[in-house]
Amino acid sequence: MSDPKPVTRAARRLLLLVTLMTAMPALAHKLKVFAFAEGERIQGSAYFAGGAKATGASILIQDADGHPLASLSPDGDGRFSYRALASIEHVVIARSDDGHRAEWRIAAADLAGAFPVVDRPAEASPPTSGTPDSSVRATSESADQRGSEDKPTRSLQSGDRALDPALVLFIEEAVARQVRPLREQLVAIDDRIRFQDVLGGIGYILGLTGLALWWRCRRTGRRTDRPR
Amino acid sequence: MAHIPDGVLSAPVLVTGALVSVGLLTVALRRLDYERLPPAAVLSAAFFVSSLISVPMGPSSVHLLLNGLMGLLLGWTAIPAILVALILQAAFFGFGGLLVLGVNTMNLALPALFCALVLAPWLQRCPPARIPWIGFAAGALGVLFTGLLVALSLGLSGEAFVPAAKVMVLIYPPLALVEGLITATTIGFLWRVAPEMLTREDNPRV
């Protein structure tokens, strides 16, 4: 402290260090996975909270009971895509080799549009689609195996009128496409580390320290003979 | 990285980590040096915030750990400081998890303790010119030991050990270098402005 020169030099160096550290991109290192049902496809991406793409992660798709359905590896942008086989709840799990893990759930309802369940064929009087009952039932039974090419022949009831199922599917997909950036943005906002969280944490640390020191003062105040 | 999230480790590893951490914490609280609480709070806050500044590296991303510096400056007090910061990181940022708190604390506290018990006594003995080197050693060893412990925790939990170890070998040495440089700078700075922080005689001996 006697010689101010090295102190100021060191302080300048420390300041430089702090500036360099804060100039780095403020990225958190938590692995996240985001997935979204678009028609019958589950599309998603794995990334580190803050934006860096997690290209090295492996993606595992499970059903709600934990049975593995598929395992994928994301592309260079961290994106992946999976074709759902049924409208059940899907759990997308991302893992990286060094022990990061993230999970995302897709509710069965999100996929329902691509897999219309025709459970009341007798009630429906299909004026536009001339599909016979038996074939409708067969379609709903084998919905798991069928691809997208035979979907337009299924009928979906909405209120009293039977809408063209192809149109319904198209609307569902279009809405999903439009909503997707919004949902991604919501998740990104949710991921962002808030300044008040940082301040809150520091406040907790200082508060705990103060508490410990107060405790110490109380104890030494009572027994003044204790040096430690 | 150093924050292993919930749902990755197996139960025996979790229990071992929790037991070791509770043991370490008990000893640390018995030996708590109240004089060191204010610096402990500052370093704990630095540790808490430094996890936010992370740099993508290879398949993962890294951030400063500072556990070598904490061990060197705080001795046993580093353990509660690390634990408190880890709890707050899990609560506020979602880094790590509550079930794995024991393992994460152990992985960071054991290297810190190594620095406190092995390297800190050297600070009293060596010539001042060498003091930054001890800082460098503490920073680098703190990171490398933590990496080793994280890889071991993953390996013992039945994760594929080889890819995890590969990632560790890839990302930890550069981080150790950076951390060593930062710890060396900090220790050198402290030696000039507040040498009493380094030459304290009440270094708890085992």
**Structure tokens given for A80:** 């992946």
In sequence order, what DSSP letters do the residues of B51-106 get, joined into one string? TTSEEEETTEEEE---HHHHHHHHGGGHHHHHHHHHHHIIIII--S-STTHHHHHH
Q: How far is CA A78 from CA A186, B167, B192, in A?
A: 19, 18, 47
Q: How far is CA A17 from CA A219, B27, B182, in A?
A: 41, 35, 8
Task: Kindly report, residue by residue over B44-92, the tens digit of the pLDDT.
Answer: 999 998 888 777 666 667 788 899 999 999 989 999 999 999 999 888 8
pLDDT at A22 over 50: no
- Kindly give the residue spans of alpha helices, DSSP state H, lying in B126-199: 131-156, 161-193
Domains in chain A, number: 2
Residue A106's pLDDT band (cuts 50, 70, 90): confident
Residue A75 located in a structural domain: yes
A101·B5 Cβ contact <8 A:
yes
pLDDT at B148 over 80: yes
Residue A17 located in a structural domain: no
The range of the structural domain enclosing residue A120 comes to 116-163
DSSP lists the bridge partners of residue A157 as A162
Residues A65 and A130 grouped into a single domain:
no
CATH 1.10.1760.20 for the B11-197 domain, yes or no: yes
Residues A126 and A107 grouped into a single domain:
no
pLDDT at B191 over 80: yes
Residue A14's pLDDT band (cuts 50, 70, 90): low
Average pLDDT, chain A: 70
Answer whether B108's CB lies under 8 Å from B66's CB.
no
Q: Is B61 on the interface with A (CB under 8 A)?
A: yes
Q: Is A199 on the interface with B (CB under 8 A)?
A: no
A213·B34 Cβ contact <8 A:
yes
Task: Kindly report, residue by residue over A171-218, the tens digit of the pLDDT.
Answer: 888 888 888 888 888 887 777 767 888 899 999 999 999 999 998 888
Residue A184 located in a structural domain: no
Considering only A70-74, A104-108, A144-148, which range has the smallest mean pLDDT?
A144-148
B7·A101 Cβ contact <8 A:
yes
Q: What is the ipTM of this complex?
A: 0.80
Task: Kindly report, residue by residue over A135-154, the tens digit of the pLDDT.
Answer: 444 444 444 444 444 444 44
Could you identify the residue written with the tokens 């067969």? Answer: A138
> Domains of chain B: which residue ranges?
11-197
Which of A76, A91, A111 finishes a domain? A111
Measuring CA to CA, which residue among A172, A184, A176, A182 is closest to residue A79? A184
CA angle A202, A205, A206 (to 5 degrees): 90
Residues A120 and A59 grouped into a single domain:
no
Q: Which of residues 5-44 of A touch B (CB under 8 A)?
A: 6-7, 10-11, 13-14, 17, 21-22, 24-31
Considering only A10-14, A73-77, A219-223, which range has the smallest mean pLDDT?
A10-14
CATH of the domain at A50: 2.60.40.10
Percent of chain A topping pLDDT 70: 61
